[in-house]
Structure 1
Amino acid sequence: MTMESLPNVEEVNIQKYLEVLQRRWLAVVGILGIAVTLGCLYAFSLKPSYKAEGSLMIKTNRTSSLIGSPEDIGRLEALNVNDNPLETQVRVINSNPVLEKTIKDLNLKENTGKPLSIPDLAQQLKVEGIKGTDVVQLSYQSNNPELAAKIVNKVINNYIDLNINANQNEALAAKQVLVVELPKAEEIVRRAESQLRLFKEKNQVIVLDQEATAAVDTISKLDNQIYQAQAQLNDVKGRLDQLRAQAQVNSQQGVIESELSQAPGVQKVLAQLQEAESQLALERTRFQAGHPTIINLEEKVTALKSLLKERTEQVAGEAPVTEGSLQIGQLRQSLIADITRGEAQRVGLDRQINTLLQQRYAYVRRANYLPKLEQNQRELERRLQAAQTTYETLLKKRQEIDIAQNQKIPNARVISYALTPDKPQGPRKLLFIVGGGAIGLFLGVIAAFSLDLIDRSVKTVKEAKEVLRYTVLGVIPTLGRNGKEHSSVVGLDRPIPKIIGRDVPYFPLGDAYQILQVNLKFLCSDKPLKSIVVTSSVPKEGKSEVSANLAVTMAQAGRRVLLVDTDMRHPIQHHIWELKNTVGLSNVIIGQVSLDEAVQEVMPNLEVLTCGTLPPNPVAMLDSQSMTKLISSFGRDYDFIIFDTPPLSGIPDAAVLSSLTDGILLVVRPGVVDLDSANSAKEFLTQSGQKVLGIVINGVNVKSEPDNYFYYTKRQQLEQSSVSGSLKKITQKSLISRKNNEREHP
């Protein structure tokens, strides 16, 4: 898709514009000639003038470095890296103060006697910097050579004076600033020193670098102690877990059981309870449940349990205690003792770690605060240093400016003053002439495209294809100046069309009509064409000329052809063939004469049926039964029938005949038919359902077409010219024979 669209883009952008310029060359040449003429008149009307020139070298004042004055005073610097300070000095030279002083010193006046204005002087004075150098060129044009030199020299001197005054004023302004700023700078130094001293006193700062190093070492030692204590704590926790697993008791429960097993009151009641329970179990073997002995023992057991619980709570508190935990063995007591000691060791290690962590946190906090203190201290030291540096610099500048204030050395040196010019300098006439030509060419191109936009006619073969969208069966080139001039008949508003071989040379029209004949021959493969209607969108497109020459071409190919002039409004075929139009198609249709009497032979294999008497209603006559029968008889007697009909613009003749023939051949002439008429014709043919065989583009200017439709050589042209002479002799013999027959049979 992209590769196919590329040639179209190039054609639209270049070729199409060249075609427009080629069509409208007259407007372009006319406007160009007028503009060049005006440019010449203006150039030659200018008077010569004298030009005086002087030059300056713009340099930085280097004398200051020799006497110890500040180099910044009077130094030329660019605002940006890529800028040139020379451009700034050019503006200064051409500034209002310099020009105004020049006008006053030389008492410059206009022709009316008024003082010369600054814009007028600036317009004549040219100041420019020479690229690649530090030189500024000044020039002034005037009719008075001495005045031109004086103006240039005065501008140079005024600029130098202005530059010296500017440097001295700059030094004076700087000195005034220093007188005010020096006491302020001294006060800032004192304030900075005081702030630094208060900061050290408030934060107890002596040497922050040493303090930071000591804090890092202490934190490292605390980290080692914490790591060792945590290792011991992990070891104690491991042993506690192992002891608890063996004793199956936690630390608190083991302490309670150990205390209960060693409490005399608990152990005494426990022994009595166990003795009572044993006696109760023995008595139950002897007595029944309701026996008084059993009841007494049960009450005793209950009382002992209540007493045991009370004494147990006194020791264990609210902790749950089982009866089995009141008596433990010596091994269990040893394990519980180990658990108790391990738990105490764990608590001690936890407290030690917490103490170490608190100490570490304090040192880390101080260490973290030290960078901020260092930052504040450095900031205060920087302020103090900056204040001291500023104060010392201002003090030094004050001494240097006192020296620079007395200097009278400018930043420019005169290379050459302007001399009085001897020869006048003529105006640039060629520039105005070339400029007029460029403007004229530009306006001419605009006018050409404007005229082309206004013109609504179909201009090229390509536009005809795009508008009508029918198959192009032939492209007929324009005759130009070739061939003899064919005079028109009195009362006829158009020239009589020309016949190839008789009125114009066979080359190149003959080949074009041969191509048209071949295309018509192979247009329908199933059924050959027998009859066609030749028409056009508007008059003067050459439909009659195409009809006649196509008939000649087919007759030369050996086909028996009948050319019928059905244009009953403006017939012209009898003028083309120099025939009488007393009888013709209209007379045959109404039965006044027979077809054989009306048909006239103009050359071998070609007969012409003229229009005949002009009827009042041509459409009714063409749409009659007689016309239908007549066309049927044409098909039996001839190989090919060509009907020359009126244009389609408001006339239905071609559409009526189209239904009786094989189709319509539409003739299109670029430059004659407009877009509206072509679209109307296209719409009419589409809506009426006409069979359009194709289009013939007539009167094409081969040189103005982008595409090459014709390929001829000089040899072909000579050969076709000989054929043309032979054809002309045959046609003349046929005409002589026809005239002799008319004399014998009037």
Structure 2
Amino acid sequence: MTSMKMETKQYSEDFDLQNYWLILKRRWLTAATVLAATVGLVGLATSMQRPSFEANGRLLVQSNRTTSLTGVGEKVGTLESLKREGNPLDTQAVVVTSYPILQRVIDTLQLKNSKGRPMDPEELSKQLKVEAVPTTDILNLKYSDNDAEMAANVVNQIMKAYIDNNLKTNQEEANKAGRFIESQLPRAEAELQKASEELRLFRTQNQIVDLERESAANINSLSLLQDQLNQARSQLADVARQEQVVRDQLGLETGQAIDLASLSQSPGVQEALSQLQQVQTRLVTEQARFKSTTPQIQTLQQQEQDLNALLQSRVSEAVGASVQVAPGALQVGDIKRKLAESLATLQSQKLGLEGRVGTLAGLQSSFRSRMAATPTLVKQQSELERKQDLAQKAYENLTSRLQEIQVARNQQVGNARVLQNALVPTQPTGRMRLILLAAGTMIGLLLGVAAAFFRDMMDKSLKTVKEAEAQYGYTMLGLVPKFETSDTPTIVSPSADDISPRVIAMTSPRSMIHEAYQMLQANLKFMSLDKKVKTIVISSAVPREGKSEVAANLAATMAQSGRKVLLVDADMRNPSQHHLWGIVNSVGLSNVVVDQSELRQAVKPITNNLSILTAGVMPPNPLAILDSEAMTTLLETIAKDYDYVLFDTPPLAGTADAAVLGKMADGVLITVRPGVADAGSISAAKSLLDRSEPNILGLVANGVNVRYEPDSYFYYTSPREQVSERGEGARSVRSLLTK
């Protein structure tokens, strides 16, 4: 659906353009006349102008890299465009034509206008042309004036004023940049000092010398600590396991085993124990000999008690606490004593290893905390270092630019210099005349086209066959191209001595016009397949559409095809058939109907198959004759004697003759000629036909200029050239009729 809409739109646009072109072809004489008049007037005005001289000078405009001062986007003397696609030379071209520079030139040279008053900068700029030479850094200055020497002086003075202005602008920018940098230096220095102090305080507070090396060292230390911690934990586990084995063998707690080992090695305890044992031995011996009441036994018992007390006292001193230990517990063997010593040693080792593990774990936690804080410290240090670097670069940059400013303030070199001074021209320029002539030609073309379209719009007649067909609403049965008598071939029929050359079917058979009438005859035959059409009324909307020629040529064409044809001139108001056929209009239709003259005497044979019944004497009321019973009787009579009867009737505009006769006949054929009838005349004629309700066979377009038609399928090369093949011409006309 979208494709169909696009094709329809494209066809409509092409058709509109084609119509415009056809209008220009129809009204070419009007357009050419207006164009010639416009160009002539412009040429006359140009020839009356005074000669003009053009001076030419050139400026070389380049960027001066030694005058780049600030380095932060503001460059003195550097030609840079704000837009990347822009050309800085275009900007300088506008500067050259600025009013301050032009006013300075006007004041220096005391330029006057044509009225003798001081020239205005706007007037000077109209005669000045400044343009950039492509792919170069050169500005080309052109100035036109009636005085050749003045033209050269103006160009040279403009270049001088521009260079002076450029140098002054550069120096002003240098001073501005210097003041700006001098105001920024203290601030940049303060920023640098502040950034350096912040970095120093950060390193001091966090005890940082070199974070990268410290981070690497921490990783190595943490790995070493982990190894040592694992080793200490392994040793601690081994010592704990040995301790448990010894404790199980000894059957004592760790504290008791330590006390036992300590008492077994105490000389005082062992000495008291030895004495106690000796007393006890003697007491047992004496008790065997004496009674318990004897002094000896009592003395020994007293000694035992004293030694036992001494032993407990020495045990408390050795242990460091008041404890009661049985004397038998103090007597241990070497194995048990060694086991107690081993248990004490293992306990000591265990305590040492536990302390080592705790120390190593604390160091590991400390290193891990430091390493966890290292990324944050690195980030903070990097930000502080970056801030210090930026402050340092800004300070160094401003210091360097300040030194360049001192050079720029003292130099007297700008960005532009004169590449070529303007010389006094010796020959006047003809460019302005050419421009005026070209402009006049363009204006003439526009005015000519406008005049052509205006005249075509004012002409209310129908211009093309399509317009006529659309206005009538009838079928187009035939198209007869426009021709002149001299355009037809010189083939003449033997019986065409007195016949008018306009009867092309008789005077020039086998021509393109003749074939057009053959196509019309064929289409009429197609129209009468259902009902035989023998009597045909041929008329038109207005005069000068060629209905009589169409009737004559169609009758001759039908007769040449072997049909018996009678051509009746029913236009008793303005008869013309007798002129076309070269016969006398003495007795005709009016005589036959009114005077009851013999039909045989009135009918004049032209060929074996073609006869003519002229109009006869002009009656006072032709409509009464055509609308009479006698006319109806005559029509019935001649219809029996001939295969075809053609009636040439008056135009439909203003008369009812054709409508009345058309009601009696089998059909009506309307002749239309592009450029003659207008929409109003056709509307009136169609209204008359609609009221009378005849059988409208269709339209035949006469005098068609095939070159002015939007869709012309005629095989057309020159007016005198015939169609190469008869069938091809018929197919061409048929194609146009079926569109």
8 Å CA contact 1:212, 1:367 repeated in 2: no
Query: Following the alignment from structure 1 to structure 2, what is the Cα–Cα distance between the partners of residues 716 and 707?
Result: 16
- Report the AA paired with residue 393 of structure 1: N
Map of 2:171 onto structure 1: 168
TM-score by length of 1: 0.65
Supply the distance in 1 between the matched residues of 2:378 and 2:508 (Cα, whole angstroms).
111
How many Å apart are 1:465 and its aligned residue?
Answer: 3.7
The superposition leaves residues 584-614 of structure 1 with CA deviations (integer Å, 9 ceiling, x where unpaired) of 4455445644544544445544333344566
The answer as to whether partners of 1:475 and 1:709 remain within 8 angstroms in 2 is no
Aligned to 2:439: 435
In 2, Cα distance between equivalents of 1:85 and 1:126: 17
Distance 1:579 1:145, change over 3 A: closer
- Post-superposition Cα deviations, 1:720-742, rounded to whole Å, max 9, x if no partner, equal 9xxxxxxxxxxxxxxxxxxxxxx
Structure 2 Cα separation of the partners of residues 147 and 688 of structure 1: 86
Q: Give the deviation of 1:54 after TM superposition.
A: 2.5
Per-residue CA distance 1:360-415 (angstroms, 9 max, x = gap): xx999999997677555544443332222212222222222122211111212322
CA contact (8 A) 1:536 1:668 kept: yes
Alignment of 1:168-567 (within 5 A): 168-193=171-196, 375=379, 377-426=381-430, 428-482=432-486, 498-500=502-504, 507-567=511-571
Which amino acid in structure 2 is aligned with residue 540 of structure 1?
R
Q: What is the CA-CA distance between 1:669 and the residue it aligns to? A: 0.8
Q: How far does residue 532 in structure 1 lie from its aligned partner after superposition?
A: 1.0
| Residues 602-611 or 112-121, more deviating | 602-611
Q: Paired residue for 2:288?
A: none
CA drift of 1:185 comes to 1.9
Instruction: Tell me the distance in 2 between the aligned counterparts of 1:613 and 1:510.
Output: 32
* Aligned residue type for 2:645: I
Q: 1:62 to 1:581 in 2, by over 3 A?
A: closer
Give 1:93's match in structure 2, choosing from 77, 93, 96: 96
**Does the CA contact (< 8 Å) of 1:35 and 1:436 recur in 2?**
yes
Who is 2:79 aligned against? 76
1:707 to 702, 707, 712: 712
* 1:665 paired residue number: 669
Gap change, CA 1:429 and 1:109, over 3 Å in 2: closer
Deviation at 1:171, TM superposition (A): 1.3
Q: Is the 8 A contact 1:216 1:367 kept in 2?
A: no
In structure 1, which of residues 621, 627, 639 is the aligned counterpart of residue 631 of structure 2? 627
- The one-character-per-residue Cα deviations of 1:179-206 (angstroms, maximum 9, x if unpaired) are 2212222233344445556777889988
Cα separation, partners in 2 of 1:88 and 1:7, compared to 1, 3 Å: closer
Aligned 8 A contact 1:42 1:432 in 2:
no
Q: Aligned partners of 2:525, 2:383: CA distance in 1, in Å?
A: 104
3-state SS of 1:698 partner: strand
Contact map agreement 1:667 1:698 (CA 8 A) in 2:
yes
**Which amino acid in structure 1 is aligned with residue 546 of structure 2?**
G
Indicate the residue corresponding to 1:150 in structure 2. 153
- Given that 2:653 and 2:681 are in contact with CA atoms closer than 8 Å, whether structure 1 keeps it comes out as yes
Q: Residue 631 of structure 1: CA displacement?
A: 1.8
The DSSP-based 3-state class of the residue aligned with 1:482 is helix
Structure 1 SS opposite 2:712: coil
CA spacing shift, 1:605–1:113, aligned 2, 3 Å? closer
The separation in 1 between residues aligned to 2:501 and 2:221, in whole angstroms, is 121
Deviations 1:113-145 (A, max 9, x none): 432221222222332222122222223322333
Task: Indicate conservation of the 8 Å contact 1:47/1:427, yes or no.
Answer: no
| Structure 2 CA distance for aligned equivalents of residues 694 and 213 of structure 1 | 113
What's the counterpart of residue 653 of structure 2? 649
For the pair 1:42 / 2:35, whether they are aligned, the reply is: no
**1:26 has 2:16 as partner:** no
Give the share of equivalent positions with the same residue, in percent: 45
Letter in 1 for 2:459: D
| Unaligned stretches of 5+ residues in structure 2 | 227-365, 489-499, 727-739
- Conserved in 2, the CA contact under 8 Å of 1:669 and 1:699? yes
Corresponding residue of 1:232: none
Q: Which moved more, 1:628-637 or 1:496-505?
A: 496-505
Contact 1:149 1:420 in 2 (8 A): yes
Shift of 1:642: 1.0
Counterpart mapping for 1:94-133 below 5 A: 94-133=97-136
Q: TM-score, normalization: structure 2?
A: 0.66
Aligned with 2:664: secondary structure? coil
- Output the amino acid matched with 1:77: E
Q: CA deviation at 1:26?
A: 1.0
Given that residues 48 and 424 in structure 1 are in contact (C-alpha distance below 8 angstroms), is that contact kept between their aligned partners in structure 2?
yes
Q: Residue deviations 1:87-126, cap 9 Å, x none?
A: 2222222222222222222233335443222122222233
Inter-partner Cα distance in structure 1 for 2:589 and 2:79:
102
Maintained 8 Å contact 2:552/2:567? yes
Distance apart, 1:689 and its partner CA: 4.7
Q: Counterpart of 1:632 in 2: which secondary structure?
A: helix
> Separation in 2 of the partners of 1:466 and 1:695?
11
Distance in 1, matches of 2:147 and 2:419, equals 24
Aligned to 1:325: none
Measured against aligned partners, the alpha-carbon deviations of 1:323-365 in whole angstroms (never above 9, x if no partner) come to: xxxxxxxxxxxxxxxxxxxxxxxxxxxxxxxxxxxxxxx9999
Assess, with a 3 A threshold, how the Cα gap between structure 1 residues 180 and 501 changes in structure 2: closer, same or farther: closer
More displaced stretch, 649-658 vs 43-52: 649-658
Distance 1:409 1:537, change over 3 A: same
TM-align CA RMSD = 4.4
**Change beyond 3 A, Cα 1:105–1:655:** closer
Matched with 1:55 is: 58
Aligned counterpart for 2:697 among listed residues 693, 698, 702: 693
Distance (whole Å) between structure 1 residues aligned to residue 370 and residue 657 of structure 2:
115
Change (3 A) 1:712 1:58: closer
AA aligned to 2:150 is L
Partner SS for 1:91: helix
- In structure 1, list runs of 5 or more residues that go unmatched: 223-361, 485-495, 721-746
1:50–1:580 Cα change, 3 Å: closer
Q: CA deviation at 1:670?
A: 0.8
CA contact (8 A) 1:499 1:548 kept: yes
Asked whether the 8 Å contact 2:589–2:614 carries over to 1, the reply is yes
- Whole-angstrom CA distance in 2 between matches of 1:464 and 1:367: 101
Paired positions, count: 568
Counterpart amino acid of residue 142 in structure 1: D
Q: Once the 2 structures are TM-superposed, how far is the Cα of residue 437 of structure 1 from its aligned partner?
A: 1.8
CA, structure 1 residues 709+469, in 2 after alignment: closer, same or farther (shift >3 Å)?
farther
In 2 relative to 1, CA 683–7 (structure 1 residues): closer, same or farther, beyond 3 Å?
farther
**Residue 455 of structure 1: CA displacement?**
2.9
Moved more, 642-651 or 168-177: 642-651
